[in-house]
Every structure is written in structure tokens, then in C-alpha cells.
Amino acid sequence: MKWKLKKIIVKILRMNNTPHEIALGIAIGVFIGILPVYGIHTILFLIAIAAIRRVNKIAVLVGTNISLPPTIPVITWTAYDIGRIIFWGRYDPRI
């Protein structure tokens, strides 16, 4: 069992992906990371890497870590500002 796990990890780390596949992995990971479903990001990560074969798995994992607790206020405030711009058509920092 131990050797099989080591073999899988080495295989993942030695994957030769194109820059497009790495960028796609980061994009998918960030999308999963900013979803407001705290607690199931790992499950969504596993579903994503199983469903999309041609993606860098490590990049998806790195992207999902954007939702660490120190970044949650920044993500929430940015989403709030974007919503104000979309719904009100302007940005007013006084509101």
C-alpha cells in the first residue's frame, strides 16, 4: 500500500502538462475555492480531477487553497463590490 501511494504521487509530480493545462487547473481550482460551500471543497476537487482528465491535478489543488480563512474577507468584499457595480452600474466607495 505504501509503495503504491508513493508511485501515484511520483507519477502526478512528473506529469508533463502544457501551460494551457496548468492554467486550466488553476482556474478550476480558484473557481472551486471561491464557491460559498465551505467544507466540501475537497470533494469538489476530487470530482473535478476525475471529470477533467487533461488538467494538472496539483494546479487544481493549489487553486482551491485560495479559500483559506485569511483570504475569505477579501473574497467576500470583492464579490460585494462587483455586485454593486453590476446591479447599480457604478462604484461608490461611500456605500
25-70: per-residue pLDDT in tens?
Answer: 889 999 998 888 777 888 888 899 899 888 888 888 888 888 777 7
pLDDT value at residue 1:
59
Domain assignment present for residue 90? The answer is: no
R_g of the chain computed on alpha carbons: 17
Domain assignment present for residue 94? The answer is: no
Our count of domains for the chain comes to 1
Q: How many C-beta atoms surround the C-beta of residue 30 within 10 A?
A: 19
Domain assignment present for residue 53? The answer is: yes
What's the mean pLDDT when you consider all of the chain? 81
> Could you please report the per-residue DSSP string of 6-48?
HHHHHHHHT----HHHHHHHHHHHHHHHHSS-TT-HHHHHHHH
Domain assignment present for residue 8? The answer is: yes
